[in-house]
Structure 1
Amino acid sequence: MDKMNDIYIGRQPIFDTNMHVYAYELLFRANSEENRAKVIGGDSATAQVIMNLFGDMGLSAVVGDRKAFINFTEGLLLRENRPFFPRKQVVIEVLEDVEPTAEVLAAIDKLRREGFTIALDDYIFHPNAVPFEAYADIIKVDILETGPKKLVEHVPLLKERGVRLLAEKVETREQFDFCQKLGFDYFQGYFFSRPKIIQGKSLPSNKIPVLRLLSNVYDPDVDMHQLSSIIGQDVSMSQKLLKMASLSGKNHEVTSIHDAVVRFGLKRLQSWASVLVLSNIDDKPSELFLMSLIRAKFCELIGERVGDLSKDSYFTVGLFSTLDAIMDQPLQTLLDELNFDHKIKEALIKGSGSLGLALKAVKAMEAGKIDFELPEGFSPSEVSQSYLAAMEFAESLNLTE
């Protein structure tokens, strides 16, 4: 197989002011070694990888109907042939190392007049980059490199010119709030998945039964009476299950929580419990829940092939990998509440074993990492296909609607 066919793609969400996903930045990588993902340098290689994305993977499979930010090198900007991307969906992102020469500015101007949206990447208000501002629809500001003082000084000036601003590298809720007040339109970073540390905060009691239910529904030695007991401890959970059970069997009167649990079935309980823990958490963006399910499905697909442990163990590791961010608690504290196998706990905390390797692989792809170890027996293309399949699975659940 031609190694140019080994494609890696990562995507990073871009949020609007309501913390809804506006777009994804796509990060392209091609494989150059058997068990490591590396960047293949050069404009032709980058163009080939992008071509493979649109021709083989399909843009809709990766971003749905949202916009896609695609990085452009100077060489790609200056190519005579015009991009074949859908103009309304693709945002051309000019990389920070591109110089504002007359040729480059003319090329950007032509792309813009043809209907493409132009974004500037990693902007830090350097005088040398000022010529780009007149051609930009969106400016992505590196807030960590720029600092609050320069942001306060420059943001109002750009807003007056009608430029949309995207705050890059937003790491905390405080940074998000600060940039939102300044007038930024979009946000990118890991603020949505970083736990907000509040000293002395304990896990709300109504979340504990949900976590225990999740732990038990994936236990190979699951006891349906135990599941009934856990659900029965929480009025809200019981009401939701009884309502679901009544919808699935209108001709059968439910006589007890256990009756509902048995009729509902273990597989449906697993799906229901997984979604339950991801729902009704108002202060978290839905993209975080989507990420949980993508990771879970990716790890499950890896586990099916590796075969050393149950695929449910792999699914559980992926699903619980964002639990600290969802619950605003240290992961170790949360895992202490759950009766997980030690291999699952070690994978989540230390990234160890084959479970941990699958989790590290999906995290690397999310972040667009260029060097990570592949799960045993997987080629780069197969890992990429598993990631795409996981994204399609998670999107099909419509949890972000």
Structure 2
Amino acid sequence: MTQSTVITTFLPVFNQQQQLLALCPDFAALDQDAVIAALQHWKQLELFEQLPTLNWMVHVRDLSLLPTDLHQRLPANKIMLCIPEQVCQDQELQTRLKHFARSGFRIYTDDFQSVSDLAWSDTRDIVIDSQAGVPFSAKLWMLRLPQGQHWAKNVGTAAVLEQAVMTGFKLFSGDYAFHPAKNNSAADSSAKTRLLKLLGLVARDADSKELEDLFKQDANLSYLLFRLVSSAAFAQTVKVSNFGQAINLLGRRQLQRWLQLLLYAKQSDQGGALNPLMARAAFRAAMMEALAQRMGFNRDMSDGAFMVGMFSLLDTLFTSPLAEVLQPLSLQEDYVAALLQRSGPLGRCLQLTEMADRHYQATLRGMLTELALSDDDYLLSVTHAFAWVNQVCKDM
């Protein structure tokens, strides 16, 4: 496999329902030629085809250096060019902006800060940096550009997310999933406790009757189980008539994976939106599995890698120390060490995975070298992970 010359991280972009809609590669300080070369390499790897429903938000620093035949090199209908507002103000460059728009690229006015007039008369979609909260002027622009798919980036907390939703933004990215509101109810805690018990039963290969009894204690959990076995992902033609049949149709391995995911699946108070933490946990699980397979791990180790990724955010979910949350699960010592100390091969894979969907860190390449993974191993693992996140968001 050909080595690429560029390594990036990928920031997920979600809609109001917290379904994955786009990816924003963080190219850090790379020059524009290197960015275009990377995108062309991804096209050769068929990354765009492997994620057919997702868009790609690409930040452009120097519009004057963007080749006019870019639409012939890259899938223009998949790429959103994010152009800084101050660049859009340059009248000499607005002809180029119109050219790229006519070529099929959607143009986002990035780092938007206008308080009165538009920097570019053809502005349709804006991007606002929400690191310091949503600016007061944003509400005005939501009213003036009501058809836009406006994006709030660097949303750091659940409170800022709520503010951005109420303002009228349609797209969201940032670390808000890792900083949820502190409003877990006793009922939520009870449901999560039942899920942990179910995971423990599956792990020790308990009798189906024990699993059925726990499912029957939670109407929401029962509903999710039956909806899962009826989903397009399983394409079941058999009508499911009881808990035992549903469990058998899934199989123990798949049941275990989906129980892990269901820990995060409680819908939020934001109009029935998914829990933002679910997609991030799903990414970690699928990324860990893909890395394990590329490192030559056997099936059991790959399953363990998936579980380590999924459980790595349980402390955030339960707002309790991870060691306490893991205690009832009786996990293997190497899994516990990977989760608590980031030690061993799985721990190192987890460190890499934790970087992959956040802002770029220079230590990423060193991690790949340490794990003997090529750049393409990494890119294809990321693609596999986001494909699974995309499917999970649809099924849940």
**1:31-70 matches, cutoff 5 A:** 41-62=30-51, 64-70=52-58
How has the CA–CA distance of structure 1 residues 20 and 316 changed in structure 2, closer, same or farther, with 3 Å as cutoff?
closer
Greater share of strand residues, 1 or 2? 1
Determine whether 1:160 maps to 2:182.
no
Gaps of 5+ in 2: none
RMSD, aligned CA: 4.2
Q: CA deviation at 1:59?
A: 1.0
- Counterpart residue number, 1:232: 213
**Structure with the greater alpha carbon radius of gyration:** 1
Corresponding residue number in structure 2 for 1:196: 181
Shift in alpha-carbon separation, 1:242–1:124, aligned structure 2, 3 A: closer
**1:213, 1:230 within 8 Å by CA — same for their partners in 2?**
yes
- Which of 371, 377, 385 does residue 372 from structure 2 map onto? 377
- Counterpart in 2 of 1:23? 22
Q: Give the whole-Å Cα distance in 2 for the aligned partners of 1:383 and 1:119.
A: 28
> Post-superposition shift, 1:24?
2.6
Aligned residues: 378
Provide the residue aligned with 1:72 in structure 2. 60
**Cα distance in 2 for residues equivalent to 1:86 and 1:125:** 31
- Where does residue 317 of structure 1 map in the other structure? 308
Match of 2:385 in 1: 390
Instruction: Provide the rounded CA distance (Å) in 1 between the counterparts of 2:385 and 2:137.
Output: 43
TM-score using structure 1 length: 0.76
Alignment of 1:252-331 (within 5 A): 265-283=251-269, 285=274, 288-304=277-293, 305=295, 307=297, 310-327=301-318, 331=322
Distance in 1 between residues matched to 2:86 and 2:127, nearest whole Å: 14
Q: Is the 8 A contact 1:347 1:355 kept in 2?
A: yes
Q: Which whole-Å deviations, capped at 9, do the CAs of 1:97-120 have from their partners, x for residues lacking one?
A: 858444333311322344432113
CA gap 1:205/1:358 in 2 versus in 1, 3 angstroms: same
In structure 2, the residue corresponding to 1:91 is in which secondary structure? strand
- Answer yes or no: is the 8 Å Cα contact 1:142–1:168 preserved in 2: yes
Could you tell me how far 1:141 is from its partner in structure 2? Answer: 0.9
Matched, 1:345 2:336: yes
Paired residues for 1:102-181 under 5 Å: 102-125=91-114, 132-145=119-132, 147=133, 151-153=135-137, 155-157=139-141, 159-161=143-145, 164=148, 165-181=150-166
Offset, 1:244: 9.1
Whether the 8 Å contact between 1:209 and 1:231 is mirrored in structure 2 is no
- 1:134 partner SS: coil
Q: Kindly provide the amino acid, as one letter, of the partner of residue 269 in structure 1.
A: L
Q: 1:68/1:106 Cα in 2 relative to 1: closer, same or farther (>3 Å)?
A: same
Answer yes or no: is the 8 Å Cα contact 1:8–1:381 preserved in 2: no
Which blocks of at least 5 consecutive residues in structure 1 are unaligned?
29-38
One-letter amino acid of the structure 1 residue matched with residue 342 of structure 2: G
User: 1:269 is paired with a residue of what secondary structure?
Assistant: helix
Displacement of 1:93 after TM fit? 0.8
Distance 1:260 1:191, change over 3 A: closer
Taking structure 1 as reference, are residues 112 and 229 closer, same or farther at Cα in structure 2, changes over 3 Å only? Answer: same
Shift of 1:92: 0.7
Counterpart residue identity of residue 377, structure 2: E
CA deviation map 1:67-104 (0-9, x unaligned): 32112231565434343344443211115785844433
SS of match in other structure, 2:24: strand
Gap change, CA 1:122 and 1:268, over 3 Å in 2: same
Conserved in 1, the CA contact under 8 Å of 2:129 and 2:154?
Answer: yes
Partner of 1:357: 348
Q: Distance in 1 between matches of 2:395 and 2:245?
A: 32
Q: Please give the secondary structure, in 2, of the residue aligned with 1:12.
A: strand
Q: Distance in 2 between matches of 1:322 and 1:331?
A: 8
Conserved 8 A contact 2:212-2:244: no
What is the one-letter code of the residue matched to 2:168? Answer: G
**Residues 386/182 of structure 1: CA separation in 2 closer, same or farther (3 Å cut):** closer
Identical positions, percent: 19
> 1:108 & 1:306 partners in 2: Cα distance?
47
Which deviations, in whole Å up to 9, do the C-alpha atoms of 1:1-59 show, x marking residues without a partner?
A: 865x255454323333344444332335xxxxxxxxxx683322211111111232331
Q: Distance in 2 between matches of 1:243 and 1:137?
A: 38
Query: For 2:247 and 2:126, how far apart are their aligned partners in 1?
Result: 52
Q: TM-score, normalised by structure 2?
A: 0.76
Which amino acid counterpart does residue 137 of structure 2 have in structure 1? E
Note the alpha carbon deviations across 1:325-366, whole angstroms, 9 max, x for none.
555655444223432234323433443332221112122121
